[in-house]
Structure 1
C-alpha cells in the first residue's frame, strides 16, 4: 500500500471541523424574487420610516421660521415636527442639534438669547411629541450664521429660524 502525503488530507480534516453558523433569532430577509405579499413584514414589528433625505417626507424640511422678535412655533410646522419626533422616538440612538438663529437687527447678545429661545421652543414641541430630552441639543448662533445676506425683509425672514441638524446627514 502506498502512503499519501499528509497535505492531501488537510481539506477533509478542515471540512470536518467547520460548523454551521447559528440560526438568527429573527426571520431571514426575504428574497427579492418572492411575491410582495411574502416579503412584507408585520407592521407591528417595525414601522416603516422613510430615509431622512426623502424629499416627499416632512423630515426633509429642517427649518422652523419665526416672525420678527418672536419665538413661538407656528402651527404650520406642527406636522413637520411630528414627523421628526416620530423618527427620533423610533430611533433612540439618533440625536439632533437645534440651531437657533436671528436676523442681523439687534445686538449680538440679544440675538444670541433670541436664537436660544427659538431653539428651546422647537425642543419643547419635540418633547411634547415624546422625544426624550437626551436626544436633543439646543444651541444659538444668534445673527452669526445668516442663510441670506441682504439687508432687507426678504433676507431677514430667512434668517429668523431654527434649523434641525442630524449629525452626518446631508
Structure 2
C-alpha cells in the first residue's frame, strides 16, 4: 500500500509540473499578444503620408510557399491599408539560387500567389494586385551562404 501511495504522489507531482508548464506558455503568449496590441501606435490610415511605413518584404522557408504566422500579422496590416483603395500593388516573388531557373520561377510565383490569396481573403480587391516572379534573377543579397539565401527567399510588396 505504501508503494501505491508513493507512486500516486509521484504521478501527481509530475502532472502538476506538466500542467504548470503548459499554462505558463499559454499565459506568456497571451501576455505577449496583449502587450503587442497595446503598444502598437494608432495610425490614421486616411492618408498614406501620415501612415507609419510597414515592412514590405515577406520571407519564406527553404523550398516553401506557406506563410509564417508572423508574416500573416504583417499582411493583415497591409490589407487594412489597401482595402477600399484603388492603388495597384505588385507582388514580386523571389527564390534563392538553389534549383533550376524554371523551378525557381515557379516557386517565386507560388510565393507571390500565397501573399495575393491571403490579401484577397482579407478583403483586398484582386484587380489591384499584380503577381510577378523573378525566381533567382534578382537576389537581395549576393552570395551562396545560408544567410544570403534566406534573404532571397521572399516576396516584395511594391
Instruction: Please report the TM-score for the alignment, with normalisation by the length of structure 2.
Output: 0.68
Going from structure 1 to structure 2, the CA distance change for 1:70 and 1:52 (only over 3 Å counts) comes to farther
Offset, 1:51: 3.1
Match of 2:48 among 37, 47, 51: 51
For 1:146 and 1:113, locate their aligned partners in 2 and report how far apart those are by CA, in whole Å. 16
* 1:75 and 2:61 correspond: no
Count residues with an aligned counterpart: 115
For 1:52 and 1:78, locate their aligned partners in 2 and report how far apart those are by CA, in whole Å. 24
What are structure 2's unaligned runs of at least 5 residues? 1-42
Larger Rg: 1
Cα RMSD for the two superposed structures:
1.7
Q: Aligned residue for 2:32? A: none
Q: Aligned residue for 1:118? A: 111
For 1:154 and 1:87, locate their aligned partners in 2 and report how far apart those are by CA, in whole Å. 31
Going from structure 1 to structure 2, the CA distance change for 1:160 and 1:83 (only over 3 Å counts) comes to same
Instruction: Please report the TM-score for the alignment, with normalisation by the length of structure 1.
Output: 0.64
What whole-Å deviation, never above 9, does each CA across 1:97-148 have from its counterpart, x for those lacking one? Answer: 0000000011100000000000000001100100011010111000000000
Q: 2:93·2:111 contact (CA, 8 Å) conserved in 1?
A: yes
For 2:81 and 2:63, locate their aligned partners in 1 and report how far apart those are by CA, in whole Å. 30
Q: Aligned residue for 1:94? A: 87
Which of the pair is proportionally richer in helix? Answer: 2
Q: Aligned residue for 2:132? A: 139
| Regions of 4+ moved over 6 Å | none
Match of 2:99 among 90, 106, 119: 106
What are structure 1's unaligned runs of at least 5 residues? 1-46, 166-170
